[in-house]
Amino acid sequence: MEAFKNLFAKPDPQAQFRKCNALIRSNIRKLDRDITANKQNEIKIKNLIIQADKRAQRDPSRSKQAQKEVRDFAAELVRQRRASSRTITSKAQLNSVQMQVNEAFAVRKIEGSIRASVGIMKDLNTLIRLPEMAHTMRELSMELMKAGIIEEMVEDILPEDGDMLIEDEGEVEKVLGEVLKTKKEPTLPVAPIPEPEKQPEEEEEENAEAMMDQMRNRLDALRS
């Protein structure tokens, strides 16, 4: 009987709010981990480019293969940076969803009603297409639909992001110029920082203080 009542009972707004926020926070934490991992991968790929370039210069017999590796790693770095950019954009969109969800529940608490948010639907429709977030974003969408914050979403079936697979020669050349420039530029010795010359006013102040010290010493000697 209790289970039958629960089928028709209205969901608790506070429970819905907590569940929605828990889903959003867990995804934000995952995106933070992905952003950190992406940065580490970029550093690793840069090092691979530098090592391959050194092999190309050191061993002429393997120069052609090493140069190919340099370009392959550079293309991989371009793809990695695109992935990093997409992850950062996804986090910004998810933060926007969180702010709008919090605002919607606050309005519901004050006014007793809620209005469907087009902004949340737009952000969710973008996030739900990401393979790594699709499952939890669908779950979040269901909870938001139950709460009346969004209307039923119709997912557009889109092809996989082909932009991640396109190798742009211009970007590859730019990456190579950036990464190899730091390797080829010689490290210059750091020159010692010269002490600033004393200004005439500073010298006058020091001379005045020295004269005062001498006068104090003479007075002390006379008093004794």
- What percent of the chain lies above the pLDDT cut of 90? 25
Class of the CATH-defined domain 9-184:
mainly alpha
Question: How far is Cα 158 from Cα 201, in angstroms, rounded to an integer?
Answer: 74
Residue 176 has pLDDT above 50, yes or no: yes
Tens of pLDDT, residue by residue over 41-73, are 999 999 999 998 888 888 777 788 888 888 899
pTM here is: 0.66
Tens of pLDDT, residue by residue over 71-118, are 899 999 999 999 999 999 999 999 999 998 888 888 877 766 666 677
Burial (CB < 10 A; 0-12, 13-18, 19+), residue 114, is middle
pLDDT at 219: 55
Residues sharing a CB contact under 8 Å with residue 18, sequence separation 6 or more, in sequence order: none
pLDDT at 104: 84
Question: How far is Cα 76 from Cα 38, in angstroms, rounded to an integer?
Answer: 12
